[in-house]
Structures are given as structure tokens and as C-alpha cells.
Chains A and B, each alone.
Chain A
Amino acid sequence: MAGLRVSVSLPRLVPGLLGALLGGLVAALFVASLLIGPAGLGLRESLAALVTGRGEAVVLVMREIRLPRALLGLLVGAVLGLSGAAMQGYLRNPLAEPGLIGVSATAALGAVLALQTGLAALFVGALPLMALAGAGVSVLLILALAGPRGGALALILAGIAVSALAGAATSLVLNLSPNPFAAMEIVYWMMGSLADRSMAHVWLAAPLMVAGMALLLSLGQGLDALTLGEDAAQAMGVRLVRLRWTLICGTALAVGAAVAVAGAVGFVGLVVPHLMRPLVGGMPSRLLPAAALGGAAMVLGADVAVRLVAPDQDLKLGVLTALIGAPFFLHLIWQMRRVEA
């Protein structure tokens, strides 16, 4: 597949400089996430409460409500950006991302099944594990239906099919629930939200997300070699089977755990790698960490915006990422048509 000509002529930044800029942006947004919320707390009092643990209600708000939300925003964003970059690197297709190809939707199905069958109540780890299983199944399915030799068309078709099936099944399970609230929650699962999360969710999902990200970050060199095609990569010493399984396991772990606690947030894995790619000169090994940081920034930013735009409602995170991401996706398709013409 011929390389995609990028229309954005951004300069290639020295890795150190880019890392510092992105790191600074993520840190700033993390702090903003800690400081913004309906409680209307002052800057000094909230930071003091967070660090020192003195102040009763303020401490509760900072440590039990805002901190888990900010941590999850950081981790979920990093997972989505990184897994998008990794999938694109392996499939050599800039349209691959967990939301678009149905991985997030099947992870949501797994999570909903864990909750509605009561497994999650029996054993608290059942929730992320079933979400993980769902994610893993769909990655396997997508690779089988439209592996690296399948072009963009096969990939998108497979993604549509898997997403549709998973979404319908999730909706069905929720509607069959004896709980009247469950039927209305399809929106949360399909659009994602970080509202009212607790440190319990962080402890549940963070280890799996970190483990998954570690696996995905290890793919850098293999993906670099894959730039030249499978034969050349194999001849350069890349073990393709091992690479594929690392991708599957890493994506399942990371995306599964993220969806289990935050729902399916779309488009991050599509937009962030595309924006970062010119800044890192296209090499997948440099793109992976940049996409992780960029994804963290995007989700933290969206979560801050959600609280500024509609402070008293629970505006779903996926609404904002879709408002940015869907036009971007259209732009990407438009570009591809021009190149192929």
C-alpha cells in the first residue's frame, strides 16, 4: 500500500523537544482536570487538600472524585492513542483504530455481559477481564477478516460488521436487564464518560492498561521494519507471529480495561497518530510514545471541556471526541481518494 501523502506540512521535531512539549501539555491538562469541577474550589485550597489530606470534604472531592477522574483521563487517553498507532503500524493502514474497527464496541459488550450476568458482583476482576476477552476476540476477528494483506476497504467493512454486531448485542443485553436504568445506559457504553469514577476503578483498570501499553510500546522496532512489507521485515529479523500476538494481547489488555471503566471513546486512536506522524517523521517506533502522550492530552482536554460546556449534566466524552474526530475522518478519506485517483 503506497504511503499516504500528508497534507499537513508540519516540521519534524527533535524527539527530545517533542517529548518535552507533549509532556508539558499533558501535565498542564492533568492539573486543569484536577482544578475544574462543579464544587467551585479555589486553586490553593484544592491543591493543598490534595497533597496534605487536611480539609474533610475538600479532601474527599480532590482525592476521591477529581484525582481518579484525572488519572483515568490520562491512562485511557494514552491507551487509545497508543493502540491506534500500533494497529495502524501493523495493518499499514491509517484508518485503523480500536473504535473504528469495533474493538471498543466488543470490549463494551464484554463489560456489559460481566455486569448483567452478575459475574462482576461475584468477583470484581470479572469486569475488566470480560471486557478484555471481548476486545481480544474482535482483534482476532479483524485480523482474520482483513489482515495486513487486506486493503482499506476490507478493514473498514470488517470494522462496520463487528461494531454493528457488538453494538446490537450490547443493546439487547441491556434491554433484557431487570434493572430499568440499564436499558438507557447504551449511550454511556457507546460514547464513554469519566463522570463519578472512583479510585476503585483506577486500581481495577490501571495495572491492565499499563501492562497492555508496555506490550504495545515494545512493538516499535518490528513496526519500523514492517514499513517495508512483511517479507523484508521477516528477512530483517522480525518475528511476525510473535509481533501479531503481542499486538493482540497488548490491545486487548489495554483497550479492554479502558472500556471497562470509561466506556467506548472513539476517534482518539484515529486523530492523534495522524497528527503526530509528521512530527516524528513517520517512523512507527517514534510515533508510539508520541501517540500515547497525544492521546492522553486529547482525552484530558475533552474531559475538561465536557465540564466547562455542560457543568451540571453528564455530557459524554465521546460526543466531543466524535465532534473533532468525525470531520477529521472525512478529511482523511478525502485525502485517500485524491492519492488513489
Chain B
Amino acid sequence: MILLRLTDLRVRRGHCPVVDGVNLTVDAGEFIGLIGPNGAGKTTLLRAALGLLPFEGVSTLAALPVAERSRAATFLPQGRDIAWPVSVGDLVALGRAPHQPGRLTAADRAIIDRALMLMGLGGFRERKATALSGGEQARVLIARALAQDTPLLLADEPVAGLDPEAQLRCMQVFAGLAAGGRGVVAAIHDLGLAARFCTRLVLLDQGRLVDTGPPRTVLSKANLARVFHVQGFHAETPDGPVFQPTGVLR
């Protein structure tokens, strides 16, 4: 089942295209890692796909009416704003708002509980979200996204700044979502995590979709050199593929 189709998507800033003619299809069961150097247009692509900024081309998601769109896809933005000192429980419960404005049903509460458990926030429910550390806040925001419980999840740098346990836990959860029949697209800088957990990588460079496919293929020596200007090391381990950039080329 196609969860998202982007056709010839183009976003301009002035005359310059920040996203330049991207064609992308997201299927149920896919965990797509959106990779590329800084300024490649990853954030812009995600925001355009959701219809949060003007674009040329087609996005099936942006074409939906607003209420339906919020039940079709969840967005986890890069900026981790939490404006008010709300409790963790209340913040995660925000994820249920698109489905059930007003009182929370028992089913809603069950979903919220599961989201908290998945992110290891069981004992955090009553604590003020603004009083937590940066990493803990990031996990709370991910839990909110999980609570929204939509077929598609778009995440912009979800694991930046998290400790190794939190990073691995989050990527595992996303992989689990995909395995369970949902779709996840995550813009991510950490190529090692992308290689290990994503079912498919999409490589962006200067707004263009340069390559897409399984991680081993996309993280080829040629792509690494041309787009990232690095060289890297691949290995297969019992726990899964491992990739580490090892040196700068230039």
C-alpha cells in the first residue's frame, strides 16, 4: 500500500531550487533513511511533502484535507520546542488530538501508555517536560509522535543528541513500526544507524535525489566520495550491518 507519493517535487527559494524534481514513493513496511550532507534539502523535502510550505509538483499527502492529513501522517520536526511546563503525560497525550479532540477514551490511554513504554518513559508521566534533560525531552517528543499512531511517520533528525541507548531504542522502535506494516521516513545524519536499521536509503545532494536503494548499494564508495567527500568501512556482524565513515577526502 502506497503511503506517500511525491512526483517531480520542487521547492524554490527565490529562483534557486532547494528541492529539485524529487520523485519518491513510500510503501507500507518501509523504513526510509533520508540522508545527505548539510543543506541538501532534507528538511525542506519533508516539510514540502506535508504541505507546510509552497511547492511545485505533486504530494499525495499535501493534497489531503488538513484533518485527514493529520490522521494519515505524523511529523516530528527537528526543532524540539516545548513552550510550556506541561507534564510528560499531557504532552504525549497531544498526539491523540487529531483523532479525538476532547476527552481521552480508554483506547487513547492505552496508546499513550504504549508510546511511553516503548520510549522507556514509564516513570516519567507526572514530571514536567521542561525540567528534563535534552535527551529525555527528545524521547518524550518521539513518544508523542508514536501516540499519534498514524500509518506514516516523517521524522527530521529524531536521534540527534541522544545517548547511544536512546538512539538505538528509537531506531528499533521505528524499524518495528515499519515491520508492523507502517511507513517511516527519517532524515538522519548518522550513516551507521541508517545502514543498520533502514530498509532503504534515499540520498539527496543539492536538492536532487541522487540514489535510492538498500543501504549497502547507496553507501557505495563512489557515492560517499562524490556526495559526502568521505570514505568508509562496511562490515557484517551477527547484530547487523555496521558502517563507519573513516576519513575525509579532499
Contact = CB atoms under 8 A, between A and B. Distances in A.
To the question of whether A and B form a pair in one complex, the answer is yes
B114 interface: no
Contacts, number: 97
A236 B83 contact: no
A6 interface: yes
Interface string A214-230: 00000001001111110
A314 interface: no
Contacts of A229: 77, 79, 81, 83
Contacts of B67: 237
Contacts of A234: 50, 52
Given A228-B141, A235-B50, A3 B97 contact: no
B97 A236 contact: yes
The contact size tier of chain A is: 20 to 34
A22 interface: no
Interface in A258-305: 277-278, 281-284
A224 B159 CA distance: 24
Interface string B59-81: 00000001101110111110101
B90 A231 contact: no
Residue of B74, B82, B83, B94 with most partner-chain A CB within 10 A: B83
Contacts of A282: 84-87, 90, 128
A338 interface: no
A235 B74 contact: yes
B84 A228 contact: no
B144 interface: yes
Contacts of B85: 3-6, 277-278, 282
Interface in B74-119: 74-77, 79, 81-87, 90-91, 94-95, 97-98, 101
Interface in A225-250: 225-229, 231-232, 234-237, 239
Determine the main DSSP class of A at the interface with B: loop
A2 interface: yes
B11 interface: no
B77 A231 contact: yes
Contacts of A228: 77, 81-83, 91, 94, 141, 144
B147 to A, nearest CB: 11
Contacts of A232: 75-77, 81
A187 interface: no
Residue of A1, A2, A277 with most partner-chain B CB within 10 A: A2
Contacts of A237: 66-67, 69-71, 97-98
A12 B76 CA distance: 28
Contacts of B69: 235, 237
Contacts of A224: 94, 97
Given A231-B47, A231-B77, A237-B67, A226 B83 contact: yes
A85 to B, nearest CB: 11
B101 A281 contact: no
B31 to A, nearest CB: 19
Interface of B: 47, 50, 52, 66-67, 69-71, 73-77, 79, 81-87, 90-91, 94-95, 97-98, 101, 128-131, 141, 144, 148
Question: Which 3 A-B residue pairings sit nearest by Cβ, starting from the closest?
Answer: A3-B130, A237-B70, A235-B75
Interface of A: 1-6, 12, 92, 221, 224-229, 231-232, 234-237, 239, 277-278, 281-284
Given A2-B82, A227-B94, A228-B81, 12 more contacts: A1-B81, A3-B84, A4-B130, A92-B81, A221-B97, A225-B97, A226-B83, A235-B69, A235-B74, A277-B84, A281-B87, A282-B128
